[in-house]
Structure 1
Amino acid sequence: MKATVVTIGDEILIGQIVDTNSAFIAKSLDKIGIEVYEMLSVSDDREHILETLSSLQNDSDVVIITGGLGPTKDDITKKTLCEYLNDELVTDPLVLAHVTELIEGFFKRPITQINKDQALVPSKSQVLFNKVGTAPGMWMEKENTVFVSLPGVPFEMKYLIENEVIPRLVSKFNRPYIVHKTIRTYGIGESLLAEQIESWEDNLPDFIKLAYLPSPGQVRLRLSARGTNEGALYLELDRQVEKLHEIIGEAIVGFDDGETIEVVLGKLLKEKGLTLSTAESCTGGKIAATLTSVSGSSAYFTGSVVSYATETKVNVLKVPQELIDKHSVVSVAVAEAMALGIQQLMKTDYALATTGNAGPNKGDADAEVGTVVVAMATPNGVYSEEFNFGQPREKVIDRAVTKALEKIYKEILKN
């Protein structure tokens, strides 16, 4: 099956808001075996909308539209859909009663004609009742295409997708199964990874596709299998992952989208009953923020010192001034002293420290822009490594965070 997602709104095209609706819809459709072939964003313009609908007619099995259903004059989606479908707007009494209850009962103000117009729907449409908002969804069919129009407000759209749209699509269409397995790897670049698994990739069954999803410090490998037997697809994916583990087992740290490095690291720390603290200079607290984004991280993460200024390194982390004078703030010696300092201050089993020059200027350090030193204080000693992550600044910081978490994960795993 072929689906298209269309977002309507000038605010998306001028970059005023980010379109998160399309991603949610695509994931929801993928779970029931419907592939999204195209995502489009169009302006609040009658001709543009009509051209888009016409181009998708009979080319897509399902077209899901979000946006343009509000009460103001610039929201023209319903009128334009009626024009395209040779239909007319009528008042839906159930929707009108719901809108009236919200406006007069919840908001405690008289309902206006603009509010009442929210209950207007194409006469031939099936109304998708929106319990969490005023604008209803609409299900319309023309020839070989189903058109679904939804409000652009994300929580309203999500409610209708989950409670109205997906059940109807499941009931109407026979769909193949599409199942995925995502493998997270750290510490190996995309090109080198591709070389190492080339033979395995070449021998994947025809019904399994592999996608490389690189980001700073990590590469996700997404396996997608399509077929009519869901159980058999999962079994084959597991078999292929076992083969992959034999080739790059040391680089694999987790599976599926939820198992980020911070999640995997947190699980490991919990299992072993260990604690972790951080001392951050160039990363500015981002390692701590990443760790604490995981629910329950207080069980193993005790705290952090953002020692951005040299004085903080000396006064709080007790890094000797003479060490800084001799080696510079961006150095292995200072990074290791920071790691030991925070380990002792927080009384943790492990500690991470970063110092570097993220750029764009050199600042107080002599080190080249992009240089970062990551140090680890462990029960068995302190270790460090120097990297150069290039530019721009954001890339340096993101890669430093990922590398630090990767290194401490692997260190704990081997002990």
Structure 2
Amino acid sequence: MRAHIITIGDEILIGQIIDTNTSFIAKELDKIGVEVKKTTSIPDEKEEILEALDFASKNADIVLVTGGLGPTKDDVTKHTFCEFFNDTLVENKDVLKNIEDLFKHHVKKPMLPANKAQALVPTKATVLMNKYGTAPGMWLKYDETVFISMPGVPFEMKALMTDEVIPRLQKEFNRPFILHRTLHTYGKGESEIAATIEEWENNLPKTIKLAYLPSLGKVRLRLSTKGNDLKNLEAAIDSEVIKLKELIGDIIYGYEDDQPLEHVVAELLKRKGETLAVAESFTGGQIATAFTAAPGASKFFKGGIVSYATASKIDVLNVDKALVDKYSVVSAPVAEAMALGAQKLFSADYTISTTGNAGPTKGDSDAAIGTVFISIGTPHEIFTHEFHMGNHRERVLTKSVNKALELLQKEILKN
């Protein structure tokens, strides 16, 4: 099954918003055995939409369109659909009632004519009721191709995909199984991993593909296969995962559907009944944010200090000024003192401290840009590590956060 995703909106093309809809739709389609062959972003212009619909009708079995369904004049998707399908708009009573209910119970403002006009849908369309917004989804057929139109608001689109679109596609089409296993690794780069698993990779069955998905401080390895016998597919791919774990099991920390590393660490701490605090300088609170983004962080996370300026390291974390004067603020002794200060301040079992020079200027230290010190405080000892993370600020920050999480996990597992 071939799918084509079309996102409509000038705001996407000028970079005003990030298109997260395509990513979500593609993942949901992949789960049910539908391959996305093309994605397209186009402006709110009739001719562009018609051209995209025409191309998709000749090259895809399923076309999913998001955006352009709002109440304003620049939203032209429904009218363009009517032109493409040689159809007209009519008022749908169920959609109108849904809009009226939304205004009555949630908006609490008078409906405008433009809001009521959203109850107009093509006569040939099957309505997909939008429980969270006024623009309905639409399901239409053109020859053998199914066209699905959904609003561009992400939470509205996601609900329609989950509640309406996916169940209908599963009923409408016979689909193969598409199976992925994605392993998360840390601590080694893409080329080093490739060299280690080269022989295994060369001997992979032709039905299984391997993809390297590197990011800063991490590499994901994705194994993919497809076919009609799910049990055989699972057995084949699981067999290769076992072989892979024998080669690089020491750097694998989870799988695609698992929680991210900060959640893995959080679960370790909660299971052991131990606590964590952080003292961050150049990472600016990113480590604390990673841990507190998920519910339940209060069970293990005691608190954090963003001691960005040198004075705050001395005044808040009680770092000895003599250490700063002797070794500079970006140094192993200062990182260690920050970890110890946070440990005492919050009475935490574990601490992470970061001090470094992320650039683009050197700040309070003469340390080279990219120089980073990370300390991990444990119930028994403090371990300090020096790294050189490159000369790009975002790279230095992201790699440092990932490395701090990796180091903390290792220490927790040792104790």
**TM category, shorter:** over 0.9
List structure 1 segments (4+ residues) > 3 angstroms apart after TM superposition: 100-113
Q: State how far apart, in whole Å, the 2-side matches of 1:103 and 1:292 are.
A: 35
**Distance verdict in 2 for CA 1:112–1:307, change over 3 Å:** closer
Say if 1:411 and 1:106 are closer, same or farther in 2 by CA, change over 3 A. closer
Structure 1 residues 93 and 198: CA distance shift in structure 2, 3 A: same
Tell me the CA shift for residue 25 of structure 1: 0.9
Find the aligned partners of 1:49 and 1:165 in 2 and give their Cα distance. Answer: 21
Residue ranges of structure 1 left out of the alignment (5+ in a row): none
Q: Residue 58 of structure 2: SS of its match in structure 1?
A: coil
Task: Report the equivalent of 2:244.
Answer: 244
Mapped to 1, the partners of 2:349 and 2:102 lie a distance apart of 55
Q: Deviations over 1:182-219 (max 9, x none)?
A: 21111111111111112222222222222212111111
**Within 5 Å, which residues of 2 pair with 1:116-127?**
116-127=116-127
Which deviations, in whole Å up to 9, do the C-alpha atoms of 1:157-202 show, x marking residues without a partner? Answer: 1121111111111111000111222211111111111111122222
Letter in 1 for 2:399: R
- In 1, Cα distance between equivalents of 2:92 and 2:379: 69
Per the alignment, do residues 108 and 268 of structure 1 end up closer, same or farther by CA in structure 2, a change over 3 Å counting? closer
Paired AA for residue 201 in structure 1: E
Please state if 1:411 is matched with 2:392: no
Q: Secondary structure at the match of 1:57?
A: helix
Asked if the contact 2:310/2:364 (under 8 Å) is kept, the reply is no
Question: Structure 2 CA distance, aligned partners of 1:283 and 1:106?
Answer: 40
**Alignment of structure 1 residues 121-270 onto 2, 5 Å:** 121-270=121-270
C-alpha separation in 2, matches of 1:383 and 1:70: 56
- Give yes or no for the alignment of 1:96 onto 2:96: yes
Change (3 A) 1:70 1:410: same
Q: Which residue of 2 aligns with 1:371?
A: 371
Q: Partner residue of 1:57? A: 57
One-letter amino acid of the counterpart of residue 89, structure 2: L
- Give distance in 1, aligned partners of 2:234 and 2:277: 39
2-structure distance, mates of 1:86, 1:78: 12
Structure 2 CA distance for aligned equivalents of residues 104 and 327 of structure 1: 66
Matched, 1:398 2:398: yes
Distance 1:78 1:349, change over 3 A: same
| CA distance in 1 between partners of 2:69 and 2:110 (Å) | 21
Report the equivalent of 1:3: 3
CA displacement, residues 234-271 of structure 1 (integer Å, 9 cap, x when unaligned)? 23332222211111111111122442110111122223
Q: Does 1:296 align with 2:296?
A: yes
**Are 1:71 and 2:89 counterparts?**
no
Partner of 1:15: 15
1:219-244 deviation per Cα after TM superposition (whole angstroms, max 9, x unaligned): 11122221212233223332222211
Correspondence for 2:305:
305
Cα distance in 1, alignment partners of residues 374 and 391 from structure 2: 17
TM-aligned CA deviation for residue 114 of structure 1: 2.4
Deviations 1:5-36 (Å, cap 9, x if unpaired)?
Answer: 10111111112222111111111111111011
Report the 3-state secondary structure (helix = DSSP H, G, I; strand = E; otherwise coil) of the residue aligned with 1:318. Answer: coil
Paired with 1:188 and 1:298, the residues of 2 have a C-alpha distance of 32
Q: Which amino acid aligns with 1:177?
A: F
What is the rounded CA distance, in whole Å, between the counterparts of 2:271 and 2:103 in structure 1? 52
Aligned equivalent of 2:28: 28
2:334 corresponding residue in structure 1:
334
By how many angstroms is 1:104 displaced?
Answer: 5.5
- Once the 2 structures are TM-superposed, how far is the Cα of residue 343 of structure 1 from its aligned partner? 1.7
CA pair 113-296 structure 1, distance change in 2 beyond 3 A:
closer
Letter paired with 1:362: K
Q: Which deviates further from its counterpart, 213-222 or 126-135? A: 126-135
CA separation in 1, counterparts of 2:100 and 2:405?
53
Contact 2:372 2:389 in 1 (8 A): yes
Query: Structure 2: which 5+ residue stretches go unaligned?
Result: none
The aligned residue for residue 80 of structure 1 is 80
> CA 1:100–1:313 in 2, change beyond 3 Å: closer, same or farther?
closer
Cα distance in 2, alignment partners of residues 133 and 378 from structure 1 = 50
Distance 1:314 1:103 in 2: 56
What is the one-letter code of the residue matched to 2:36?
Answer: V
Task: Spell out, residue by residue over 1:266-308, the C-alpha distance to the aligned partner (whole angstroms, 9 max, x if none).
Answer: 1222233322221111111211111222332222221122222
Counterpart residue identity of residue 254, structure 1: G
Distance verdict in 2 for CA 1:122–1:349, change over 3 Å: same
Q: Shift in Å at residue 76 of structure 1?
A: 1.1
What is the CA distance between 1:106 and its match in structure 2?
Answer: 5.3
Given residue 403 of structure 2, which amino acid in structure 1 is its aligned partner? K
Distance across 2 between alignment mates of 1:32 and 1:154: 20
Q: Find the aligned partners of 1:108 and 1:267 in 2 and give their Cα distance.
A: 43
User: Identity over aligned residues, as a percent?
Assistant: 55
CA contact (8 A) 1:58 1:143 kept: no
Aligned to 2:317: 317
Q: Is the Cα contact below 8 Å between 2:9 and 2:42 reproduced in 1? A: yes
When normalised by structure 2's length, the TM-score is: 0.95
Tell me how far 1:105 sits from its aligned partner: 6.4
User: Alpha carbons of 1:345 and 1:142: their partners in 2 closer, same or farther (altered >3 Å)?
Assistant: same
User: What is the SS of the residue equivalent to 1:58?
Assistant: helix
Matched residue count: 415
Contact 1:104 1:111 in 2 (8 A): no
Counterpart of 2:359, as a letter, is G
CA contact (8 A) 1:103 1:109 kept: yes
Is the partner of 1:245 in helix, strand or coil?
helix
Quote the offset at 1:318 in angstroms: 2.0
User: Are the structure 2 counterparts of residues 294 and 93 from structure 1 closer, same or farther at C-alpha, using a change threshold of 3 Å?
Assistant: closer
Distance change (3 Å), C-alpha of 1:386 and 1:108: closer
Cα distance in 2 for residues equivalent to 1:103 and 1:336: 57
- The TM-score normalised by the length of structure 1 is 0.95
Amino acid at match of 2:40: L
1:109 positional shift: 5.2
